[in-house]
Amino acid sequence: GRDAAKQYFRDHPDEAAKLETAVRENFHKLMGSQSRVAAKAAGRAVDVSADDFDDED
Beta carbons within 8 Å of 15's beta carbon, 6+ residues apart = 8, 9
| pLDDT (tens digit per residue) in 12-51 | 999 999 999 998 888 878 777 777 677 777 766 667 777 7
Rounded-to-integer distance, Cα 26 and Cα 43, Å:
18
Look up residue 55 and give its DSSP letter: S
Q: What is the pLDDT of residue 7?
A: 94
Domain ranges of the chain: 1-32
Rounded-to-integer distance, Cα 23 and Cα 16, Å:
11
| pLDDT (tens digit per residue) in 18-27 | 999 998 888 8
CA 33, 36, 37, 38 dihedral sign is positive
Instruction: Indicate the pTM of the whole model.
Output: 0.50
Q: What is the pLDDT of residue 11?
A: 96
End-to-end CA distance of the chain: 53
